[in-house]
Amino acid sequence: MNTLLLSFLLTLVSTLTTLDEQKALSEWTPAAVVSDESIMAYGIDSCFKAYPINDAIFARMDGKSFKKNCTMPRSSLRYLRVLHRNVEGKTQLGEIVCNQSIAADLLDIFRKLYEANYKIERIILIDNYNADDETSMRANNTSCFNFRVVSGTTKLSKHSQGLAIDINPLYNPYIHLNNGKVEPATGKPYAYNRANLRNVKVPIIDAHDLCYRLFIQHGFRWGGAWRTVKDYQHFEK
Ligand SMILES: [Zn+2]
């Protein structure tokens, strides 16, 4: 093959990739991986934005995270577009539903985490897991709004109001200190002796962690500081 033809084909492949990526960005395809060049062309400010819950998003949530008995008005919730670095360090599209009162906090925190190359494996709506927390946590999915009770109680969780978020939950599990139960169950290897964990794909959340520091600066409380349970993935306001 002559060099001119090869160079033409390479340009064509690169143009097609860019077109695919621009489509993923304009449609905001959850978990799509895009190049930094595509982000530059699209505009980074458009990648950290809050929107009202439109009908298409609501259709995904209805009967799942937004259960029939949901007492949260849809109008108090926001759909956020965010970017994050995945476990390979690549730029991935994320989506979060949260309470409107913390939308600006989350946009600022996720932008700072992205700029610091902080790894988060996946941020897609928990409705993709039928709003089942255990399944979403096993997939190490970061999520916020879900109309549900606190695990093991009848009390409504702060997730029900979209005021709590769980970050990289598989590697930052939730431990019931009274009975030793770990959620997700597959997070057991990351539940104890956390300062000595090695070869973990994402940062371990502790008091030195950037994610921890950003949430605390924004006035959130950390579940890892609680005494009867340790909820390392959890921040709430
Ligand atoms: Zn939580």
Distance between Cα 19 and ligand 1 center (Å): 37
Q: In this structure, is residue 23 part of a structural domain?
A: no
Distance between Cα 5 and ligand 1 center (Å): 54
Distance between Cα 154 and ligand 1 center (Å): 15
Distance between Cα 203 and ligand 1 center (Å): 17
Q: In this structure, is residue 74 part of a structural domain?
A: yes
Return d(Cα 108, Cα 50) in angstroms, integer. 11
Distance between Cα 137 and ligand 1 center (Å): 10
Show the domain range for 139: 29-236
Query: Is 0.75 surpassed by the pTM of this model?
Result: yes
- CB-based neighbours (< 5 A) of ligand 1, an ion: 164, 166, 234
Q: In this structure, is residue 93 part of a structural domain?
A: yes
Q: In this structure, is residue 17 part of a structural domain?
A: no
Return d(Cα 67, Cα 175) in angstroms, integer. 26
Q: In this structure, is residue 11 part of a structural domain?
A: no
Distance between Cα 164 and ligand 1 center (Å): 6
Distance between Cα 186 and ligand 1 center (Å): 16
Q: Are 169 and 233 in contact (CB under 8 A)?
A: yes
Segment 197-229, tens digit of pLDDT: 988 999 999 999 999 999 999 999 999 999 999
Segment 69-119, tens digit of pLDDT: 999 999 999 999 999 999 999 999 999 999 999 999 999 999 999 999 999
Q: What percent of the chain has pLDDT over 70?
A: 98
pLDDT at 151: 83
pLDDT at 132: 97
Return d(Cα 20, Cα 36) in angstroms, integer. 14
Query: Please, is 22 exposed, middle or buried when counting C-beta atoms within 10 Å of its C-beta (0-12, 13-18, 19+)?
Result: middle
Q: In this structure, is residue 1 part of a structural domain?
A: no
Q: In this structure, is residue 232 part of a structural domain?
A: yes
Q: In this structure, is residue 173 part of a structural domain?
A: yes
Overall domain count for the chain: 1
Q: Are 190 and 205 in contact (CB under 8 A)?
A: no
Segment 32-76, tens digit of pLDDT: 999 999 999 999 999 999 999 999 999 999 999 999 999 999 999
